[in-house]
């Protein structure tokens, strides 16, 4: 049975994918709680609910698409965390998962579930992943493809997936019983020390010489400079008076210290977030992975258990410093904007040849399961089912929600394009495209280009979409 919606159903499910100005003062919420004295907010009806629920896979479940060791134990649980904004037109939901990815129709199902839970439309819902690897890599379309083979491990077990949706619906609906007024927002940033480095080492011939990856024991990988990164961790926060309600952190780096041992973990990003949460029990802490497709911790991470501890400490320190720089300002304006994005396919991949490779039982599991993701995306684009880009704009703040594993250049370009704004990027939304390199990266080769299902022309299309989201005119 296919899980893939056609374009007509997609457009019905995500109605309103043009820019959507929020008529903040025209709607009154039934749940009324007086704002704290001294509020200067231009929107006295703005309210917020936060939620969290467990999405830890059971023992035996596949991790990272089924080509690494399945779950044998849980070192620390995986969570879905988010918030609901009320009083700014139809409700807005922003959610982040401790999963490797959420792709194609699986991503749409999450957005539909969250939309139904709060009474909004899926185009007003953002769902991103942190991208830890000892975690599920959920694509229902690819699951159907491998399940038909009869001898391949699951990509995502549908019963577990549906249980997560049910848990999420209940958690979000329950959260609406405990909302708080939003009077102020704040933004801040701080440099993070000794985590991020560019994964792609370029040789004298202009080609990728070496893939540094998320961890490395090669001395040369530790000697090479960091390369192009975004060193800043950015924080965006909601307040009710002096009380922080939500603190959302954004940093671009693959979030793995080590993986493949079957032990579920939110890894150093999730551990740092959880440590910060224990210090601020009244404020919901969220962590979003920025455009980290070509960024990893390989310069500073040898894959040891001690390295995870050190990376956690460094990221936690960055969170604290960024929060220390927050300056509150009354909410003056809010806008939720969306754009459709339909990337062209990479001509390097042929569906017929890929299906043959999936069926070849002598191939390794990774070679067969990974190709199922490619076929799923090819079929999606052939059916013209678009990806949705979105942005939450409050005052001079723009929070971008982007798909897949975007290269860091997209994030840096966005910040340069709108230098008068505070721009934070959350990538790893709809993961259908896998890697989204820049156009210049394709002739350089390397791992990321080899698993980029989109054509080089995608750069121009995605960049135009990002620019339109940032446009305040």
For residue range 350-383, list pLDDT tens digits in order: 999 999 999 999 999 999 999 999 999 999 999 9
Q: How many CB atoms lie within 10 A of CB 388?
A: 23
- Per DSSP, 275 falls in state H
d(CA 131, CA 64): 9
**Max CA-CA distance within the chain?**
70
Query: What letter would DSSP give residue 379?
Result: H
Return d(Cα 184, Cα 225) in angstroms, integer: 40
CA 289 to chain centre: 6
Mean pLDDT of all residues in the chain? 92
pLDDT of 40? 56
CA nearest 239: which of 251, 230, 248?
248
Spans of the chain, pLDDT less than 70: 1-42
Q: How many residues does the chain have?
A: 473
Q: Do residues 384 and 342 touch, judged by C-beta distance below 8 A? A: yes
- What was the pLDDT predicted at 44? 78
Q: What pLDDT, on the 0 to 100 scale, is given for residue 473?
A: 76
The pTM is what?
Answer: 0.92
Q: What was the pLDDT predicted at 314? A: 98
Return the pLDDT at 29.
Answer: 28
Helix or strand or coil: residue 43?
coil
Integer Cα distance of 248 and 37 in angstroms: 25
Sign of CA dihedral 456, 124, 101, 259: positive
> Which residues are 101's β-sheet partners?
137
User: Using an 8 Å Cβ cutoff, are 304 and 258 in contact?
Assistant: yes
pLDDT value for 41: 62
Strands (DSSP E) contained in 332-464 are: 334-341, 387-394, 397-401, 405-406, 422-426, 435-436
């Amino acid at each position: 049975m296919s899980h893939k919606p056609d374009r007509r159903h997609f457009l019905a499910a995500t109605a309103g994918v043009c820019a959507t100005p929020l008529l903040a003062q025209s709607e009154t919420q039934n749940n009324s709680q007086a704002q704290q004295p001294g509020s200067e907010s231009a929107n006295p009806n703005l309210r917020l609910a936060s939620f969290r629920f467990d999405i830890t896979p059971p023992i035996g479940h596949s991790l990272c698409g089924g080509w690494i060791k399945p779950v044998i134990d849980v070192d620390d649980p995986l969570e879905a965390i988010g918030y609901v904004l009320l009083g700014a037109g139809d409700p807005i939901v922003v959610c982040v998962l401790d999963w490797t990815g959420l792709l194609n129709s699986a991503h749409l199902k999450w957005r539909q579930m969250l939309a139904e839970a709060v009474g909004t439309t899926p185009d007003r819902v953002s769902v991103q992943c942190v991208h830890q690897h000892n975690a599920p890599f959920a694509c229902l379309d690819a699951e159907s493809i491998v399940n038909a083979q009869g001898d391949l491990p699951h990509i995502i077990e549908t019963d577990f997936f549906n249980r997560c949706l049910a848990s999420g619906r209940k958690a979000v609906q329950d959260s609406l019983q405990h909302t708080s007024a939003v009077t102020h927002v704040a933004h801040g940033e701080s440099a993070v020390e000794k985590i991020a480095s560019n994964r792609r080492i370029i040789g004298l011939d202009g080609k990728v010489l070496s893939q540094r990856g998320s961890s490395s024991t090669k001395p040369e990988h530790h000697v090479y400079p960091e390369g192009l990164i975004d060193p800043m961790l950015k924080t965006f926060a909601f307040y009710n008076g002096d009380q922080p309600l939500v603190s959302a952190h954004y940093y671009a780096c693959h979030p793995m210290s080590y993986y493949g041992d079957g032990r579920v973990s939110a890894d150093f990003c999730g551990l740092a977030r959880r440590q910060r949460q224990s210090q601020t029990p009244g404020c919901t802490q969220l962590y979003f992975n920025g455009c980290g497709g070509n960024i990893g911790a390989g310069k500073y991470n040898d894959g040891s258990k001690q390295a995870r501890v050190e990376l956690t400490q460094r990221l936690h320190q960055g969170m604290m410093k960024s929060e220390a720089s927050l300056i509150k300002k009354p909410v003056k304006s809010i806008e939720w904007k969306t754009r459709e994005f339909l990337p062209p396919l990479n001509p390097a991949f042929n569906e017929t040849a890929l299906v043959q490779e999936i069926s070849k039982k002598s191939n390794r599991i990774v070679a067969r399961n990974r190709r199922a993701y490619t076929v799923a995306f090819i079929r999606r684009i052939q059916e013209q089912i678009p990806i949705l880009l979105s942005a939450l704009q409050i005052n001079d703040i723009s929070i971008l929600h982007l798909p897949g594993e975007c290269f860091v250049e997209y994030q840096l370009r966005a910040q340069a394009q709108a230098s008068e704004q505070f721009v934070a990027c959350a990538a790893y939304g709809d993961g259908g495209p896998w890697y989204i390199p820049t156009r210049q990266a394709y002739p350089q080769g390397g791992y990321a280009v080899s698993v980029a299902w989109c054509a080089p022309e995608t750069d121009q299309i995605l960049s135009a979409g990002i620019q339109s989201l940032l446009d305040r005119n």
